[in-house]
């Protein structure tokens, strides 16, 4: 899996319509209620956006097939065993995990748990 912890802190924000020009979200989800974006906490603060959840962003450096069965469940289960919540976003090339960033150790614990899961699966 080769989990990679990306630098920075990320937040989930909702917007009533489309993503404003110049905003640089790392995730965008369009829902009937509005648009959810994940942006750096710094960008959200600079734009005056409200958020409640602050996360660290981990990218799994493995190309998993979108139709693959079990990867998300295995990752979520391993992190849950460590008491770490996560939100999973599947891109075309990689899966991305957003884990609570209450402190730096949470993200590092998540990376270690994922490295162990990868080793156990080898």
In the predicted structure, residue 68 carries a pLDDT above the cut 70: no
In the predicted structure, residue 95 carries a pLDDT above the cut 70: yes
pLDDT at 46: 95
Higher-confidence residue of 61 and 102: namely 61
Q: What does pTM read for this prediction? A: 0.86
pLDDT tens-place string over residues 35-45: 999 999 999 99
Report all structural domains of the chain as residue ranges with CATH numbers, in order of start. Answer: 3-121 (3.30.2130.10)
Quickly list DSSP for the chain: --EEEEEEEEEEEEESSSPPTT---SEEEEETTEEEEEEEHHHHHHHT---S-EEEEEEE-S---TT-SSHHHHHHHHHHHTT--EEEEE-SS-EEEEEE-SSHHHHHHHHHHHHHHHHHH-
Span 68-90, average pLDDT? 85
CA atoms of 87 and 93, how far apart (whole Å): 17
pLDDT at 17: 84
C-alpha distance across the termini of the chain, in Å = 10
pLDDT tens-place string over residues 7-34: 999 999 999 888 988 999 999 999 999 9
pLDDT at 50: 95
Q: What is the percentage of the chain residues whose pLDDT exceeds 90?
A: 49
């Amino acid at each position: 899996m080769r989990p990679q912890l990306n630098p920075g802190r990320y937040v989930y924000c909702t917007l009533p319509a489309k993503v404003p020009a110049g905003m640089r979200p790392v995730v965008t989800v369009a829902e009937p209620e509005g648009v959810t974006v994940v942006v750096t906490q710094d960008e959200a603060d600079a734009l005056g956006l409200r958020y409640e959840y602050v996360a660290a962003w981990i990218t799994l450096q493995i190309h998993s097939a979108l139709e693959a069965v079990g990867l998300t469940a295995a990752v979520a289960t391993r992190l849950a065993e460590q008491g770490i919540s996560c939100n999973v976003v599947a891109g075309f090339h990689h899966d991305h995990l957003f884990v609570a960033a209450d402190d730096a150790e949470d993200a590092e614990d998540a990376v270690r748990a994922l490295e162990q899961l990868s080793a156990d699966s080898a």
